[in-house]
Amino acid sequence: MKLLEERIRKDGTVKAGNVLKVDSFLNHQMDIDLFNEMGKEWARLFADRKITKILTVEASGIGIACVAAQHFHVPVVFAKKSQSVNIDGEVYSTKIESFTHKRVYDVIVSKKFLHPEDHILIIDDGSPDGTASIVKTLQKEFPDRLFLVERQGKLGLGTAYICGFKWAIEHKYDFIFEMDADFSHNPKDLPRLYAACTEQGGDVAIGSRYCNGVNVVNWPLGRVLMSYFASVYVRFVTGMDIRDTTAGFKCYRRKVLETIELDRIHFKGYAFQIEMKFTAYKCGFKLIEVPIIFINRVLGTSKMNSSIFGEALFGVLQLKWWSFWRKYPHA
C-alpha cells in the first residue's frame, strides 16, 4: 500500500539490528485516519472473499483489526495470551514465540467464537511472535477460509475504546458494553449491567468492585489499596457518588456516547475511565453501580506503573479544573 510505504519512509526510524520503529503513527501514537485507509484497501483486496470474522492476537493487533472490521462489517476475535478462570468451554490453543520478549506464549481462542463455516481474516502487525508463519502453515489446510494481511509495525490498544464507541454509534447499537480483554470481568455479568439500564433506568451501568464491600480476588494487597483509595480520591475531587470510579466494566446507552463528545475526551490511559464517567455525570446522565466480583488474570502481567498512576492522579485535578469552564451538553 503506497500510502503506508510513504508514511514509513517519512516517520519511521531504523534502530540497531535493523528494527523498524513506527511508534509515532502505528504504535503508542496511532493515526486512525491511516488505519481507516488501510482497512478500505484490505476490503477492496478481499472483496471476492466471504470474510465472516477478523482474527488477531492481543493486544497489539486489536486496534487495527477493529478499524478494518468496520469495512468488512464483521466481528473481531482476538487470541488471548493468558488463561483466565472466566474462560469456559473448549478452546483452540497453540504456542507462539516472541522474539523480542524472548518467551513462548500459549495463545487461546474460545471455540464458541470460531465456527467451521467462518471465513477468517488475520491481520498481522509485524508481530515478533511468529503469527504470520503459523497462519501461512494453516492456510495450506484452509485455503478458502483463512486469509492473512501482513504489515509492518505494532499497535497498542490506545484509542481503541473511542474507535469502538464510534463504530457502535454508526451501526446504531442501543447499548454498548466495555470490558477488559483478559476476562477479569465475567461475561456472565453482562445481563446484570444491561438490566440496570433497561429495568432500573440507568444511562451508564458500572460493574463495581467496591459498591458492596471489596470484591477483588487474587490481587496483591498493595494493588487493592491503591485502587480502592484512588476511587476515594476521585470521589472527593469530582463530587461523583461512585464507589468504583476507575472501573472498566460498563454498559452505555447509545445516547450517552452520542452526547458526551468523544473527540473531546483527553485521556487515553488509566484516567480515560474516570473521564468517561465524570463527563457522563456532568452531562446529567444517571450512573448506576452493579456489584461484581473482579478476578485477576491467571497469567500475564498488569501494565500498571507509576506513570499510568500519575496520569490518573493529576488528570483528576485537570478534569475538575476544566469543568469550571466547560459547558457540558445535555441529552
Burial class, 215, CB count within 10 angstroms (exposed 0-12 / middle 13-18 / buried 19+): middle
Same domain, 192 and 315: yes
Query: How far apart are the C-alpha atoms of 195 and 54, rounded to whole Å?
Result: 30
Total structural domains within the chain: 2
Contact between 4 and 38 under an 8 Å Cβ cutoff? The reply is yes
Taking alpha carbons only, the member of 45, 35, 20 closest to residue 149 is 45
158 is a domain residue = no
Asked if 312 and 241 sit in the same domain, the reply is yes
Closest by Cα among 56, 183, 194 to 125? 56
Q: For residue 44, what are the domain limits?
A: 2-150
**What CATH number did the domain enclosing 24 receive?**
3.40.50.2020
Residues 214 and 146 in one domain: no
Within this chain, do residues 136 and 232 fall inside the same structural domain, yes or no? no
Asked whether residue 38 is domain-assigned, the answer is: yes
**21 and 118 share a domain?**
yes
Residue type, 170: E
Last residue of a domain, one of 134, 150, 166: 150
Instruction: Please check whether residues 144 and 42 belong to one and the same domain.
Output: yes
pLDDT of residue 201: 93
| 128 is a domain residue | yes
User: Has residue 155 been placed in a domain?
Assistant: no
156 is a domain residue: no
The answer to whether residues 227 and 315 belong to one domain is yes
Is residue 159, in this structure, part of any structural domain at all? no
C-alpha cell at 262: 468523544
Q: Tell me the pTM.
A: 0.55
Q: Are residues 37 and 139 in the same domain?
A: yes
- Can you tell me the distance from the alpha carbon of 99 to that of 96, in angstroms, rounded to the nearest whole number? 10
Residue 331 domain flag: no
181 lies in the same domain as 140: no
Q: For the chain, which ranges sit under pLDDT 50?
A: 153-158, 299
Q: Residue 156 has what pLDDT?
A: 38
Q: Which three cell numbers stand for residue 324?
A: 469550571
Question: Does residue 262 lie in a domain region?
Answer: yes
6 and 96, same domain (yes or no): yes
Same domain, 143 and 236: no
Whether residue 131 is found in the same domain as residue 222: no
